[in-house]
Amino acid sequence: MRCPRCASSDDRVVDSREIEDGVAVRRRRECLACSYRYTTFERSTSPAFFIEKRSGEREPFERAKVLSGVRSAFKNRPVSDSAIDQLVNEVESAVRSLGLSASSTNIGIEVLDRLRSIDEVAYLRFASVYKDFADANDFAREADLLQKATAPKHHNVTSNLVEET
């Protein structure tokens, strides 16, 4: 962007940090022509996105919260920060695609869905914390899905035989 002092459009970013829990970014820039330093703020133009809690309260979606939940599930597990970041990005876009709001259950299910295929230990850790927040029924469904995913193959054969009779 143009320097506020000399209007040159060549600048470099000398410092960049997340503010407001990662909702915005503050950048210190330096004009390459006159060395003047100035600050810019950057934020997403996506509409506000809310999470409905079981109590009926709504709160703004906070990526940082999801990230810290996922990070603690992966503690001491062989998973890179960028893989964790990627997972949280996917979860965020999945729940945002639901509309203007989503429930904490939606988030939990999206996270679990991805953890299952990445790391079983992280999956079980997240599940055990998450069950405090999720609806009991959703959690039962989740446990059921995991069992089906890990069930021995002959179960499928049995259900095929049942269908044929």
Which residues make Cβ contacts (< 8 Å) with residue 10, sequence separation at least 6? Answer: 31, 32, 33
DSSP state at residue 38 = E
Q: What is the phi/psi pair of residue 52, to 5°? A: -90, 125
The CB-of-36 to Zn ion minimum distance in angstroms stands at: 5
The count of other CB atoms within 10 Å of the CB of residue 108 is 24
Kindly list the residues in this chain that would bind Zn ion in the complex (CB under 5 A).
3, 5-6, 8, 31, 33-34, 36
- E-strand ranges in the chain read 11-19, 24-31, 37-43, 50-52, 58-60, 101-103
The CB-of-37 to Zn ion minimum distance in angstroms stands at: 10
Closer residue to Zn ion (CB): 27 or 131: 27
The CB-of-9 to Zn ion minimum distance in angstroms stands at: 9
Closer residue to Zn ion (CB): 5 or 53: 5
The CB-of-39 to Zn ion minimum distance in angstroms stands at: 14
Q: What is the phi/psi pair of residue 83, to 5°? A: -65, -40
Closer residue to Zn ion (CB): 12 or 153: 12
Strand partners, 28: 15, 39
Closer residue to Zn ion (CB): 34 or 140: 34
